[in-house]
Amino acid sequence: MMKQFWKDMGIAAVLGLIVPSVLLAGVVSIGSERRELPVQTEPILQTETVMLTDATEMEMTISVLKENGEVMQMPLRDYLTKVVLAEMPVSFETEALKAQTVVARTYTIRAATGAAKHQEAAVCTQSTCCQAYLEETAFLERGGKEEDVQRIRQIVESTGGQVLTYDGKLIEATYFSCSGGSTEDAVAVWGTDVPYLQSVASPGEEHATHYTDTVTFSAIELQSQLGMELPGKPSDWFGPATYTSGGGVENMDIGGKIFSGTQLRSLLGLRSTAFEVSIDGDTITITTRGFGHRVGMSQYGADAMAARGSTYPEILTYYYQGTQLVQYAD
């Protein structure tokens, strides 16, 4: 019955006839009620959906773990404003910022409904763990304008309650800075195939700050980073490599040992798994394309799509194929 409900929700969303409902669980406060549900830590998970019939009278509060260990309680809308201020340049197109807001809301509610990485809170303020977070005061101190803060608040309001689902469940709403031309399949990065996290072309990102980057190692430095001694000259170290459908390194032979692209990204501190290696004597230069895990929505790609006239629902359904944009009350 619940599956049929969400199927009907998706149809209604397309027709513009949606009636707000609420997805609730995890470390969430609805009014004065607080529930604690099991914490999930796997990278790709499905969460249970729960419908609340009196949604319009309820306000969702998110628990947020700060760097100093303090747990804050704040309205979801306030939290999303801080996330969008931190995650995406306010100079980006409005439709891209709307897409970012929906993705951030989906990520947050999914974390709060059973996929949180922390037992004491739904999310934290660490970008390397959950989502980036920037207080409005800090944004202004860094040269931001009050009108930009108000613009983001309006964008959060204008997309109020909208989340992405697949087969009636909140999606794993992963996103990153730029792809370098193509996003990556989830299976290539995390080993789990996810139908809505598939590789797609992402043109128009060439102006991104880290569209390409280079990092250089000496022969000694590379061996130290890899944690192994390599015989002979650097030109002899690198064997055949295989590549993913998204253009990332799947596996690479170095000194007879097979490393995955994700292993090399971690060991060598690379910005992405899409990279090429060049060797000049004892110097190894690695050139990367893109910045991030490259799974899900590219932020610079979303901005490029918006600049070409795409709406935020079109951006979202392009990067998360087969998903539905539905409404829930926040």
Which tens digit of pLDDT belongs to each residue from 145-168? Answer: 999 999 999 999 999 999 999 999
Amino acid of residue 158: S
Domain co-membership, 22 together with 56: yes
Judge if 230 and 126 occupy the same domain.
no
Distance, in Å, from the CA atom of 51 to the CA atom of 22, rounded to the nearest integer, reads: 6
What is the reported pLDDT for 59? 66
**Residues 6 or more apart whose Cβ sits within 8 Å of residue 241:** 249, 250, 251, 252, 253
Do residue 38 and residue 63 come from a single domain?
yes
Range of the domain at 265: 212-289
Flag whether 137 is in a domain.
yes
Q: How many domains does the chain have?
A: 2
Task: Specify the pLDDT at position 27.
Answer: 33
Is residue 17 domain-resident?
yes
Q: 290's torsion region: left (phi>0), alpha (psi -120 to 50) or beta?
A: left
Identify the band that residue 98 occupies on the pLDDT scale cut at 50, 70 and 90.
Answer: very high
Residue 203 counted as domain residue: no
* Amino acid 116: pLDDT: 72
Q: Quick one: 263 and 317 in the same domain?
A: no
Shared-domain flag, residues 33 and 85? yes
Statement to judge: residues 8 and 155 lie in one domain: yes
> Hey, what's the torsion of the CAs at 174, 180, 185, 186, to 10 degrees?
-30
Enter the tokens of residue 41: 């830590």
Residues 101 and 222 occupy one common structural domain: no
Is the pLDDT assigned to residue 114 strictly greater than 90?
no
Residue 229, in any domain of the structure: yes
Do 140 and 67 have their domain in common? yes
Coil, strand or helix at 4:
helix
Please report whether residue 95 resides in a domain.
yes
Whether residue 45 sits in one domain with residue 96:
yes
Report the predicted TM-score, pTM, of the whole model to 2 decimal places.
0.80
Between these two residues, 95 and 59, which has the higher pLDDT value?
95
Query: d(Cα 175, Cα 293) in Å, to the nearest integer?
Result: 8
